[in-house]
Amino acid sequence: MTGAVWRRGPQAAAGIGAGTLVLGLGLLVGRADVALLGVAPLLAALWAGRPRARRTTAQPALTTVTTVTIEPAGGPAAPGELRATLHLDPPDEAELLHARVYAPGHRPTGVVVAATPRELALTLRTVRTGPQRTFHVDARGYGAGGGTAEDPVSVTAPDRLVLPTALPLGRVPVPRRLRGLTGPHTSRRLGDGNELRDVHPFTPGDRLRRIDWRTTARRSPHLDTLYVRRTYATAEATAVLVVDSRDDVGPDLRTWRGTGPLRVDEPTSLDLARHAAASVANALITGGDRVGVDDLGRRRRPLPPAAGRRHLRRVLHALALSSPRGTPQRRLRAPQVPADAIVYLFSTVLDDEPVELLRAWVAGGHPVVLVDTLPNVRGAREEHMRLAWRVTRAERDDRLRRAAAAGAPVVRWAGDARQDATLRLEALVRAAERHRSGVGTR
């Protein structure tokens, strides 16, 4: 390991300058007493400017340069607090150690400690999801009296992947046509289940445990005919979560141009989309259904539908990585989804492509739920930005009306509307049940 480069600190430079000035002034005016006043700070500054090791000759050589490492908490994190541990190992010549910690969206924090090996806990608060930059540390050791200082050492922590959290939801819409031989829902075909379909005479292939002895004794006292209870089979639903990651905008209109930094205490549209998709996926997979994920901003293989808690972790990981790579290309056709699957589209609807894809899915017989993930936009002071937002909002409202007219219900997911989204999804489930049962609505 190469030795640290020690330089004179500002205190030593000030002492040398002051001593030289007083010494020169005394010599210039011929005053020996004044010249002697400048010798003391000059010698002290020169002596303090010599780096000295804090060890005896009998002790082995230890650290010769400040070692700074950042150890982040292992595994993906959840929104809220990101934690890491800062390890500082100062050189032998240092008496004080100054560390300055930077984090995106936060004010820098500095700390001065005694030059001994130590660990410091770092905490970063953020509501953002996906790959996030965390900590950057600059550390510097100072010699005796601050007369010398080594070159600063800079270390940047690796990016952390922040997974979206799921909001507890009740029942969510599922497709009308179910698939599979087992699952949490009751299908319209015969099979093993809990919902009674009818009582039918025994036929070859019926199971003996299905015989209804009470009905048999009532209808056939002489046991000429056996009657069995037939039930509806159970099945599972399939859902595909389509995240429109082509837009990642915040509540501040001035950041939509991509020049201003996004605040870490305000979720963007992509953060809301990840949060909404994670909530829907958790509700479906917890109920025993199958869920897949597709991303409109990236041309890659979608995550195929599956079930289980392990698959839920894969879904959350795929949602955290959903982000555009470069300029997204326009899709010539809608992404293919499995037959009889429901599509959840999470989009800001700032252009016509989501509406066109939605219409294609509806035309193919797939039920679609559009989740609006645009955050609550704050008004801008600039007149041209207010005018541009009025035009954009009018066009967006027109697209939402066209989506609703095409048969896709729109659910708002931003601010206080996130709490109302649970009631809205539950209302969609009840409306679908009334439609299937033939009950009229008022």
Q: Please check whether residues 307 and 432 belong to one and the same domain.
A: yes
Q: Please check whether residues 309 and 417 belong to one and the same domain.
A: yes
And the tokens for 302?
Answer: 């979608």
364: domain CATH number? 3.40.50
Q: What pLDDT is stored for residue 153 in this prediction?
A: 86
Q: How many residues does the chain have?
A: 442
Query: What is the span of the domain harbouring residue 215?
Result: 185-235
- pLDDT at position 279 over 50: yes
- pLDDT at position 4 over 70: no
Q: What pLDDT is stored for residue 263 in this prediction?
A: 83
**Residue 176 in domain:** no
Q: Please check whether residues 429 and 290 belong to one and the same domain.
A: yes
**Residue 168 in domain:** no
Inter-residue contact 429 to 389 (CB < 8 Å): no
Q: Please check whether residues 261 and 369 belong to one and the same domain.
A: yes
Which tens digit of pLDDT belongs to each residue from 132-163? 888 999 988 887 666 677 778 899 998 888 89
Highest mean pLDDT among 12-26, 192-206, 208-222, 350-364: 350-364
Q: Please check whether residues 191 and 82 belong to one and the same domain.
A: no
123: domain CATH number? 2.60.40.10
Q: What pLDDT is stored for residue 179 in this prediction?
A: 64
Q: What pLDDT is stored for residue 58 in this prediction?
A: 42
Q: Please check whether residues 145 and 288 belong to one and the same domain.
A: no
Q: What pLDDT is stored for residue 7 in this prediction?
A: 62
- The CA distances from residue 167 to 68, 78, 113, 131, 344, in Å, are 39, 13, 43, 21, 16
Which tens digit of pLDDT belongs to each residue from 393-402? 999 999 999 9
Q: What pLDDT is stored for residue 438 in this prediction?
A: 39
HEC profile of the chain: CCCCCEEECHHHHHHHHHHHHHHHHHHHHCCHHHHHHHHHHHHHHHHHCCCCCCCCCCCCCCCCCCEEEEEECCCCECCEEEEEEEEEECCCCCCEEEEEEECCCCCCEEEEEECCCEEEEEEEEECCCEEECCCEEEEEEECHHHCEEECCEEEECCCEEECCCCCCCCCCCCCCCCECCCCCEEEEEECCCCCEEEEEECCCCCCHHHECHHHHHHHCCCCCCCEEEEEEEEEECEEEEEECCCCCCCCEHHHCCCCCCCCCCCCCHHHHHHHHHHHHHHHHHHCCCEEEEEECCCCCCCEEEECCHHHHHHHHHHHHCCCCCCCCCCCCCCCCCCCCCEEEEEECCCCCHHHHHHHHHHHCCCCEEEEECCCCCECCCCHHHHHHHHHHHHHHHHHHHHHHHCCCCEEECCCCHHHHHHHHHHHHHHHHHHHHHCCCCC
Distance from C-alpha of 140 to C-alpha of 149, rounded to nearest angstrom: 7
Q: Please check whether residues 153 and 73 belong to one and the same domain.
A: yes
Q: What pLDDT is stored for residue 262 in this prediction?
A: 81
**Residue 172 in domain:** no
Lowest mean pLDDT among 73-77, 94-98, 190-194: 190-194
Instruction: State the chain's maximal CA–CA distance in angstroms.
Output: 141
Distance from C-alpha of 41 to C-alpha of 47, rounded to nearest angstrom: 10
**Residue 327 in domain:** yes
- pLDDT at position 318 over 60: yes
Q: Please check whether residues 36 and 103 belong to one and the same domain.
A: no
Q: Would you give the distance in Å from CA 269 to the centre of its chain?
A: 11
**Residue 324 in domain:** yes
Instruction: Give the bridge partners for 121, in sequence order.
Output: 85
Residue 431 CA neighbour count, 13 Å, CB half: 10
- pLDDT at position 442 over 50: no
**Residue 288 in domain:** yes
* Number of domains present in the structure of the chain: 4
Q: Please check whether residues 313 and 362 belong to one and the same domain.
A: yes
- The CA distances from residue 381 to 269, 378, 387, in Å, are 22, 10, 11
Cβ-in-10-Å burial (0-12, 13-18, 19+) of 321 comes to middle
**Residue 294 in domain:** yes
Q: Please check whether residues 304 and 227 belong to one and the same domain.
A: no
Distance from C-alpha of 207 to C-alpha of 53, rounded to nearest angstrom: 89
- pLDDT at position 59 over 70: no
Inter-residue contact 322 to 274 (CB < 8 Å): yes
Q: What is the mean pLDDT of residues 252-279?
A: 86
**Residue 418 in domain:** yes
Phi, psi dihedral angles at 396 (to 5 degrees): -65, -40
Q: Please check whether residues 298 and 421 belong to one and the same domain.
A: yes
Q: What pLDDT is stored for residue 399 in this prediction?
A: 94
Q: What pLDDT is stored for residue 57 in this prediction?
A: 43
Highest mean pLDDT among 3-7, 56-60, 75-79, 188-192: 75-79
Distance from C-alpha of 46 to C-alpha of 389, rounded to nearest angstrom: 64
Distance from C-alpha of 172 to C-alpha of 241, rounded to nearest angstrom: 13
Q: Please check whether residues 345 and 264 belong to one and the same domain.
A: yes
